[in-house]
Amino acid sequence: MEQMSDLERLVAIEEIKQLKSRRDRAVDTRDWAMLEALHAPDHQSHAEGLPPWTSAAEMIRNVRASLEGVVSVHQCHTPDITFESPTRAHAVWAMEDYLCWMQGDEKHWLRGYGFYDEIYEKRDGRWVYVWRRLRRLTVDRSPGGVLPAEARAAQEASAP
């Protein structure tokens, strides 16, 4: 690997931390334009239980649909960031996500704990996401809670 100076490495780590912060905020505030700007067009995402998404546009479309009717809060911390080169990095982030929604007259919630595994590339002078995987180790959910996206999928599956 080409060598990075300590200062270059520290600057890159800070830029990647800010990229991650912006991504979480964009999802939680539903800023889809910002979310798209943080990802390479050829970005790939993998979330447990779902088929892989093979572009940033597909990822945004699916995230947007899955969060319809849901308030989300994402917390990521303690990154382990390593560099393959001065323009390619890998990180693992500890994460917690909290989702809440109304189901009839009742408020329901889901809280997940796990890790994001991510790869970034520096393109046109800025870091962007090129690959990402969400892996929850455990999930706590309110009794009887069914996420709106799960309810929609079940309705579509049972439709003639």
Residues 123, 15 contacting (CB under 8 angstroms):
no
Q: What's the pLDDT score for residue 112?
A: 96
Residues 15, 3 contacting (CB under 8 angstroms):
no
Which residue has better confidence, 157 or 138?
138
* Total-model pTM: 0.91
- The 10s digit of each residue's pLDDT in 87-108 is 999 999 999 999 999 999 999 9
Q: Is 72 helix (H, G, I), strand (E, B) or coil?
A: strand
- The 10s digit of each residue's pLDDT in 45-95 is 998 878 899 999 999 999 999 999 999 999 999 999 999 999 999 999 999
Task: List, in order of start, the domains of the chain with CATH numbers.
Answer: 6-158 (3.10.450.50)
